[in-house]
Structure 1
Amino acid sequence: MNERELYQKKAQAKLDEWKAELDKLKAQASSASADRQLELNRHIDDLDAKIEQSERKLEELSNSSEESWESIKQGFESAWTTLKGSFKDAADKFK
């Protein structure tokens, strides 16, 4: 496996991990009070959107040519950083 394939595999594994974590957050939100649910659902919707964006970027990355891979990788890493920060913020809200 080359560096590109390893990178994609690692990124997909982390996205899968975050999707599972998001499912846990959804379950946690469903047992909260109505007001708290509204607040938590906003964070969940934000995370859902950012996961989808990261998945699209990962798809772009996997379909990219060798020549464009590095520039697309930078776009993916930017989306990745945003998603990572959002998960940290959401986790703090769910405590």
Structure 2
Amino acid sequence: MSERNEYIDKAKARIDQWNAEIDKMKAKADESEADAKIEYQKQLDKARQQRDEAEAKLKEMREASDDAWQEMKAGFDSAWDSISSAFDNARNRFK
């Protein structure tokens, strides 16, 4: 398997983990009281937005030419760190 495919597979696996986390957050939000539910919903929306951004970046990487791959990877790494941090912050508010 090429470095590119391995990298994309790892990113996809992380997004799949986020999807599972989002499902857990949604269940917790559904069980909460009205005031807390509003705050949970905001955090859930943020987590979904971060996941969507990561999926969009991943799609760009899949579609990039081999020549553009290394440049895309560098940009994706930077964006991934930011998106991952924001997702973790949203998830931590559910604890």
Under a length normalisation based on structure 2, what TM-score does the superposition of the two structures give? 0.91
- Are residues 1:68 and 2:65 paired? no
Moved beyond 2 Å, runs of 4+: none
Letter in 2 for 1:63: E
Say if 2:46 and 2:87, in contact at 8 Å, map to a contact too: no
Deviations 1:28-60 (A, max 9, x none): 111111111111111111111111111011011
Report the identity percentage: 38
SS at match of 1:94: coil
SS at match of 1:60: helix
CA RMSD of aligned residues (A): 1.2
Which residue in the other structure is 2:27 paired with?
27
Shift of residue 74 of structure 1? 2.3
Letter in 2 for 1:24: K
Return 5+ residue gaps in structure 1 as ranges: none
SS at match of 1:90: helix
SS at match of 2:51: helix
Return 5+ residue gaps in structure 2 as ranges: none
The higher relative CO (CA closer than 8 Å, separation ≥ 6) is in 2
Task: Count the aligned residue pairs.
Answer: 95
Under a length normalisation based on structure 1, what TM-score does the superposition of the two structures give? 0.91
Map residues 47-86 of structure 1 onto 2, 5 A cutoff.
Answer: 47-86=47-86
Deviations 1:44-88 (A, max 9, x none): 111111111110110110110111112212222223212221232
Q: Which moved more, 1:77-86 or 1:9-18?
A: 77-86
Matches of 2:91 and 2:55, distance apart in 1: 21
Say if 1:25 and 1:94, in contact at 8 Å, map to a contact too: yes
Say if 2:25 and 2:44, in contact at 8 Å, map to a contact too: yes
Shift of residue 90 of structure 1? 2.2
